[in-house]
Amino acid sequence: MTMLALVSIAVSTLLLIALCAGDPKRRRAARAGSEGQGTATRRLLAAAACLPGLLCVLLGDPAAFLIWLGGCGAAGWLVTLWFGQRHAGRSGG
């Protein structure tokens, strides 16, 4: 159970990082160029980030699903803070 939850959180976190890195609005605000991911790519990454949780449910492991759910919420906040710090460091503020 624990290994399934940890691997699921890790996979979803990697997909969240990819989603955050290619966000067009964030890239414009950071002056990293306006080229970001298209709408279809962002939707695909968001759906793919949810698949590990679906896998936990399909395998019949509700505890792993709840751990994944909480872990992804925390990881999403951490990724957002990390990208925000990177932007703040570049702008000098």
pLDDT tens track for 10-33? 999 999 999 888 776 666 666 666
Distance CA 53, CA 37 (A): 24
Q: Where are the domains of the chain?
A: 2-91
pLDDT tens track for 44-85? 999 999 999 999 999 999 999 999 999 999 999 999 898 888
User: Could you tell me where the DSSP H helices lie in 1-93?
Assistant: 2-21, 24-29, 39-58, 62-91
Evaluate if pTM is beyond 0.75.
yes
Dig out the tokens for 67 from the structure: 């751990």
